[in-house]
Amino acid sequence: MKEIAVLGSTGSIGTQTLDIVRQHTGKVKVKALASSKFSQKLKEQIEEFRPKYVYVHHYETIPKELIKKYDLIFLTGEEGLLHITDLFVDLYVVGIAGIAGILPTYYILEHKKNLATANKEAIICLGEILKKQYKKIIPIDSEHSAIFQSLKGEKTKNIKKIVLTASGGPFLNLPIESFKDVSVEEALQHPKWKMGEKVTIDSATLMNKGLEIIEAHYLFDTPYSHIDVLIHPQSLVHGMVEYIDGTIISNISVPDMKIPITYAISYPDRWETDVPSVDFKNLHKIEFFEPDYQKFPLLKLAKEVGIKGEAYPIVLTVADELAVNRFLSQKITFDKIPVLIQKVIERANFGKPKKLEDIIQIMEETQEIFKQVEKEVF
């Protein structure tokens, strides 16, 4: 029986993780749940999965009778975070969205725990200080799960190229002139993947693929010159690794996050899912092409930022999250997302982070730069 802790349990990855637990009772059990706040959903999860530990960010919001009824060890705040990331479990599954995942990820790795994570922001922001510990991370991000599986049993020195595929998002064929008129609802309609809001907007700007380049660089310790992106609208091939002998090993499936999440939990074994097989005989086409870097400038910017290294990937991650939030709350139009991020990058001037405190400071100062830029642009 595998015991897991699910952090970000009420989000998209968290709820799908619990669906998998429900499907594989007898093989996996939930020992801890963590969420940013108490909600009806978390209450239902506690009642169904009976974790021993529950962490939420705001203590005042959890009913005392629930703690009593289920004999929970309830944790909160900084001290609670240290505790919830230091449990005797077989695996931590982190599905926290965005930069809120950085601190929990840091502590899980510092506590030398096994980690399966979908939080690319943390992998990117902690990369400079923790990448040596990344070897044992099991990625949940579908492209990185694909690469991880394609690298199994191979030597890193034999990699010629890593290819990340991108569906192209909802605006692949929309003319750039129309980007200013895109509504929040339209941007949240991803053609292939069902995901949380932040990553869905990032997929519409292709920033998601940009962040994934940096994520791949840190996770697989591969130089940027060896990481390519291809647009693949059918989203069946999730990633490919080309080796020095010319062999390409790739990962193919129907696009469904259940597969990479199940793999992260079952690894090194494989468990059944209810995802249908790829219907090769009835595929009318399967395409790959070069991304349009002019239409999606954030993809190019992310790669440049990754190559610059130091604190730039952190600045990019924070600026992007702030810009996406502004768009979601309808304070800026869709076309302004890259404009804001680009300007923040231009102004940022930090050295290489050496410890967690440096990263926190860079993040705080980036927020200040963002506010300044926002005032000047609008």
Binding site for Mn ion (CB under 5 A): 141-143
Shortest spacing between CB 155 and Mn ion, in angstroms:
25
Shortest spacing between CB 143 and Mn ion, in angstroms:
5
Which of 199, 305 has the CB closer to Mn ion? 199
Q: Are strands 91-94 and 2-7 parallel, antiparallel or unpaired?
A: parallel
Whether 73 and 56 have beta carbons less than 8 Å apart is answered as no
For residue 305, CA distances in Å to 84, 323, 340, 350 come to: 33, 17, 15, 13
Shortest spacing between CB 194 and Mn ion, in angstroms:
12
Which of 10, 203 has the CB closer to Mn ion? 203
Which of 55, 220 has the CB closer to Mn ion? 220
Shortest spacing between CB 192 and Mn ion, in angstroms:
11
Q: Residue 5 and residue 41: Cα distance in Å, rounded?
A: 17
Shortest spacing between CB 163 and Mn ion, in angstroms:
13
For residue 35, the SS3 value is: strand
Which of 28, 240 has the CB closer to Mn ion? 240
Positive or negative: CA dihedral 331, 336, 101, 44: positive
Which of 141, 242 has the CB closer to Mn ion? 141
Q: Which residue is nearest to Mn ion (CB)?
A: 141
Q: Which residues contact 305 (CB under 8 A, 6 or more apart)?
A: 210, 214, 312, 313, 315, 316, 345
Which of 28, 211 has the CB closer to Mn ion? 211
Burial of 266 (0-12, 13-18, 19+ CB in 10 A): middle
Shortest spacing between CB 139 and Mn ion, in angstroms:
9
Q: Write the DSSP string, 156-188.
A: GGGEEEEEEEE---TTTTS-GGGGGG--HHHHT
Query: For 283-287, which contacts have Cβ atoms below 8 Å and span 24 or more sequence positions?
Result: 283/234, 283/236, 285/234, 286/232, 286/234, 286/236, 286/237, 287/231, 287/232, 287/233, 287/234
Shortest spacing between CB 251 and Mn ion, in angstroms:
12
Q: Residue 85 and residue 110: Cα distance in Å, rounded?
A: 9
Q: And the tokens for 355?
A: 């410890």
Shortest spacing between CB 82 and Mn ion, in angstroms:
30
Which of 66, 275 has the CB closer to Mn ion? 275
Which of 102, 257 has the CB closer to Mn ion? 257
